[in-house]
Structures are given as structure tokens and as C-alpha cells.
Structure 1
Amino acid sequence: MTHVPPAPRPDRIPVTQSTGPALRLLSLGAGVQSTTVLLLACEGAIPRFDHALFADTGWEPQAVYDNLARLRTHAADAGIPVSTVSQGSIRDDALNPEHRFASMPLHVRNPDGTKGLARRQCTNEYKIRPLKKAARALLGYPYPQRVPTGIYAEQAIGISTDEFARAKDADVRYLRNAFPLIDLGWTRDDCKRYLTEKGFGQTVKSACIGCPFHGNAGWRWLRDNDRDGWDNAVDFDHAIRHGHPHANNRAQPLHGQYYLHRSCVPLAEADLDPPGPRRALAVVNDYEPEGCSPWSCRSGESINTSLAA
């Protein structure tokens, strides 16, 4: 069930001359880094949050939803509410001929055999927009009301020092991004050690089941640890091969073929074996790229713009 957070108090947060945040929020992906940030706040190692927000695409592995449920209970004991916000199910919407398709960065094999990557719009639509909407509501200024100058929420994001290049400023005045893990000098491995100490050592990476940014390591994990999720991804990979139904219904067929795996072969047939000492290409394919953290991607990025009519 989707929980849209209400405004934190009956009235709007008053406009003041204070330079401090009106609210402290956590953008919670329920993966390794953001889980670490929430637990640190729960134990008082960093300032507590007024709210943690999980943007649900409707297509996360069950392990992520299980972790989210546990975090919700754990954080409630520390007085930090965890809410789920959602724009809908990205998978269902992609296969719905009546629904506009927010383009996913699917791999494309063009008619001439070259490969490309479709535009990435899904992160903006299914993560950034609902998170911004929730932040506005919590501040007491839901869209289209204007948030007064000087009123903002500090938004913590789980980016560690080994990913510091992904840390970016917010693109709206009512949000200011903060990076507690970078401030602490923590790496992803530091987060893993901390989670193990706190009994959260089974926390997995948060990403859509069918995210085209998975490397072979990610696909292997899904295949070997979440068979329902793997079958779900294989079915989607097959269903999307010739474009999304909405575009096809509008006589905008794909000039090529879509794939989830970067090799542009059906996911069920892709070589996912771990790299051996002489498999240099496999090492590259095993790598997990930057993914789509909602506050560090280049939404709308287009690498191949001539895929559809």
C-alpha cells in the first residue's frame, strides 16, 4: 500500500530568516548506503530525520521490500517515520498499451547491427517527481503553490566516498542535498561492515528488477537468489523486444529490438558466468555501472536518438 506523507503540522511552515532547514529528510532507497544512513540517525550518530521517504517503482526485488519493512519498524522506535511514495508500477506501465511510456535505458540492437541505448526518463518520473511532491507536502506547500524563499528541507542521500562524483546539488530551492556518508568519510565497504555489526548484513543493492544497468553480477544475483524476480525480468525482456505497446499502438514502432542485457541477446540466453583470468570482456560486463540513484543521474539522457519513427 502506498503511504503519501501528510503535512507535518496543520499550518504551513512559517517563513523565517533562519538559514537552517525547516525539515530533515532522508531519500531512502533501502539499499546498502541509505540503510546505513537511516540506522546512523536512529542511534543518534548523525542528526535524526523528520521523515524518510522511499520512492517505490513497484519493481524492486522482494529482499528490498523485506528490508524496507524491517527499517520501517526499526525507525519508528527511534521516532522517524518511513513513508512510501509512488508514481505507479514502472513494469505495468511499460507494458500497458494505454499508458504513456517513460523511456527506460533499454539496450537496442539497430537494424544495421549497431547497438544503442534508449533514453532514460524512468528515474525522473518514478523516483524524483514523487519524492519532490512529498517534500513539498511535508513543507506545507504542495504543487502548484510556491515555496517561499528561505524555506527548504535538507535531504540526506546515501552516497559514499567511493562514489563522491555522484554527489550533486538539488535543482530546486526547497531542497538542499546532504551526504552524511561523505562527511563521515565512509566507503561502501564501511557501510557493509556497519550493517553486519547492526544485524542488517543481508541488505542488498536497491534497483529495479529489470534495470538495464545491471551488470552480470547483478543479473547472477537475481537469477540465483530471487527466482521469481528473475522470471519476471525474463518475461519482461521478451515482452519488450519490439518496443513498448503504447508507441506501437500509435504507429511508432521501434526500428530495432529492445533488450535488458547489454549484449543485446535475450536475457535467458545471456552469458552471465563470472569472469575468468582470460575473460577481459567478461570483467567489463560484470561491472555494475552507476545505476539510477534518483539524485545523481542525468535524467532524459539520450545516447541513441534514432530508435523510433
Structure 2
Amino acid sequence: MTTRHAAVPNLGPALRLLSLGAGVQSTTVLLLACEGTIPRFDAALFADTGWEPRAVYANLERLRVHAEKAGIPVRTVSAGNIRADALDPKHRFVSMPLHTLNPDGTRGLARRQCTGEYKIIPLKKAARELLGYPHPRRVPRGVYAEQAIGISTDEIGRARDSGVRFLRNVFPLLDLGFDRARCLEYLEERGFGETVKSACVGCPFHGNAGWRWVRDNDPQGWAEAVEFDRAIRHGYPHATTQGQQLRGQYFLHRSCQPLDQVDLDTPAKPSTKKHLRLITTDSATGVEEDGDPDGCSPWSCRSGEPVTVTEHGHRERAA
């Protein structure tokens, strides 16, 4: 790995990295760097949860080949397979934001730890290693990597710092004035018009349009989601084997109905919430459908509690 300069304090970033989700915005950022519109990255890091849509993995491999021609290596980092880990009674419990139906009929949302565990921790660990200071070595004050995050102007409220000194987030799309529509236009012009949203297949934040896309475009992923939804109805296996008292039932769909019984073909009523939508318009009906756009993009989590990770890239507390 060639750095921009030796990791010397106060000389600017030692590395330029891209947090690559292989979705619309981060793909745009990578292509901009390949073209020289923005400075080249020393590496693009894809944090793999092990349960992305197959279309995302296909796009990732295409980007890997494309970026290599521009001298930008695309590297995959991972903390494991989120679906397999959640269903493994022996694996340490990590909470996904499942929808809960309580015994009294009220609904809620489980804690969200998955972003920190499967995205932020492996990205920070990789950054430390590339800087030359793997845990437990301390990164000297003033030595840092600059990390580009694919957040567009219509998502400006999601732009956040990394929370550690050795990694400083920057937002090229904000600097260029790119919104999501401009990103889609840009990708279409360059033959990447089929790029899809990057989010776990079984993400509980999907709206009806998101779930319908999985069902209609990723049959294997849909089957896995239905099986997973059924398996976690009464809690995660690890939690139940540890004797933790679990109340109510757990669901992937916000209606708190079994995923394979939800009517996904009737467009949901437009949300009155002032936020962006995961998939804004149903391609068949043209009707906007509610869906949380945040997905599991690192450093843009709106779970209600902050994702807190130590400087060494290890989980400090549940979030």
C-alpha cells in the first residue's frame, strides 16, 4: 500500500480511504475518483455483513475491476455473517433493530448494534492497520486517514464525524452539490445505471417497496429473509439459551406480521414524516412509499442511541 506520505503527525492525511457500500452514492464517489474529478483513494473499503443483495455483490466485483485500472484497490473487510451469527446459539448476541409486538399489543423497536459491529468496527480496524498502527499500538496524535463517505445533499443531516482522532470523515458529494438524483444520472451516463440500494437483505428498515424489490429481484435472498423472520419470532437463539427473559414477538416487517404474509403489493400511504425514503417511488405505480433511508451506512445511524466504538476499533458499549 502506497501512502500519500509517511504517517507523520500534522502533515495532513497519511491515507485517503473510501467507505464503499457499493450502493448509489458510494459508487458515484468511487467513479468520480477513478475519473480524477476528486483525488484518488489509496483504498476503498467494503464492510461486508455477509447478507447484501446479490446485485450489490455483483456491483462490488465490477467496481473492483474498474477501480483497479485507476490504481485504486477495493478491499473487503468483515466481522462475520450477520444472518448466520444471529441464528447461532453459540455466537455472542448482537441486536438488530427488529420490530417488536408486545404482549399488551403495543409495538416497539429493538436496539440497533449491528451497524457498529458489522460496519464501523471492521472499517476502523482496517484504517488502523493501513496507517501502520494495528491494535494495541496507539495511533500518534496528528496521524490520521481521511475517509470519504457517500452522503448526498438530500441527506446532509446524516453527515457525521467518525468519533476518533485517527479517522476524519469527508463528504465529496456535498462538496460537489450532488443529490441522489444527480448520482443516479451520473451512474446511468457511465453504464452503472443498474446500481441498487446497499442494505442488508433482512434489514428491518425496509419499506414495502424495499421488501418487494427483494422478493421480485433476489429470490434466494427473499427465501432467506422469510426463514430468518420466522426463526427470530421469539428472540435470538443466543439470548434464549442464556436464559434472558424475552417478551413479545419479533418481526422483520414494521407491520409486525410474518414477512411472507404481508401485502407488499398495495402501496403504503405516503409518510408524513419529514425524512427521505429508502426507495422513494414504486416503479410500477409511481406512488411514494415510506421507508427509512438510513439503512446501515456507517456514521449516519439514527437508531435513537449513538453507536459508540473505542479508538482501538472495539465495541465500547451497546447502542
1:162-181, aligned counterparts within 5 Å?
A: 162-181=154-173
Helix, strand or coil: the match of 2:45?
A: strand
Partner of 2:297: 293
Q: Write the deviation string for residues 157-190 of structure 1: whole angstroms up to 9, x where unpaired.
A: 0000000000011200001100000000000010
Q: Distance in 2 between matches of 1:14 and 1:26?
A: 18
Contact 1:274 1:286 in 2 (8 A): no
**Residues 253-290 of structure 1, C-alpha deviation per residue, up to 9 Å, x if partnerless?**
420100000000000011212427xx457978633432
Give unpaired runs (5+ residues) of structure 1: 1-7, 303-309
Structure 2 CA distance for aligned equivalents of residues 36 and 9 of structure 1: 23
Q: State whether residues 215 and 289 of structure 1, in contact with CA within 8 Å, keep that contact through their aligned partners in structure 2.
A: no
Question: What number of residue pairs does the alignment pair up?
Answer: 291
What's the % identity of the aligned pairs? 71
Residue identity in the other structure for 1:158: G
Cα offsets for 1:36-79 (capped at 9, x unmatched): 00000001010000000000000001000000000000000000
Q: Which runs of 4+ in 1 moved over 6 A?
A: 281-284
Task: State how 1:34-45 maps to structure 2 within 5 Å.
Answer: 34-45=26-37
d(CA) in 1 for partners of 2:244 and 2:304? Answer: 19
Letter in 2 for 1:287: G
Unaligned runs of 5+ in 2: 273-286, 307-319
Distance 1:108 1:301 in 2: 17
Q: In structure 2, how many angstroms separate the alpha carbons of the residues matched to 1:39 and 1:108?
A: 40
Q: 2:186 aligns with which of 164, 180, 194?
A: 194
Residue of structure 1 equivalent to 2:80: 88
Determine if the alignment matches structure 1 residue 72 to structure 2 residue 64.
yes
Is the 8 Å Cα contact of residues 25 and 156 (structure 1) preserved in structure 2?
yes
Using the alignment, how far apart are the partners of 1:41 and 1:162 within structure 2?
21
RMSD across aligned positions (CA): 2.0
Q: Match of 2:40? A: 48
Shift of 1:143: 1.0
Distance 1:285 1:43 in 2: 35
Look up the equivalent residue of 1:48 and give its one-letter code.
Answer: R
- Do the aligned partners of 1:107 and 1:117 also contact (CA within 8 Å) in 2? yes
Find 1:15's aligned residue among 1, 8, 32: 8
Report the Cα distance in structure 2 between the residues aligned to 1:141 and 1:58, rounded to whole angstroms: 27
The change in CA–CA distance for 1:80 and 1:112 in structure 2 (over 3 A counts) is same
Q: Using the alignment, how far apart are the partners of 1:245 and 1:13 within structure 2?
A: 47
Quick one: structure 1 residues 284 and 35, their matched pair in 2 at CA, closer, same or farther if it must change by over 3 Å? closer
Counterpart code for 2:294 = E
Normalising by the residue count of structure 1, what TM-score does the alignment of the two structures yield?
0.90
**Residues 30, 54 of structure 1: 8 Å contact kept:** yes
Map 1:118-133 → 2, pairs under 5 A:
118-133=110-125
Closer, same or farther in 2 for the Cα pair 1:281/1:266, shift >3 Å?
farther
Q: Secondary structure at the match of 1:199?
A: coil
What is the aligned partner in structure 1 of residue 221 from structure 2?
Answer: 229
1:153 correspondence with 2:157: no
Cα contact 2:226–2:260 (8 A) shared by 1: yes
Per the alignment, do residues 285 and 267 of structure 1 end up closer, same or farther by CA in structure 2, a change over 3 Å counting? farther
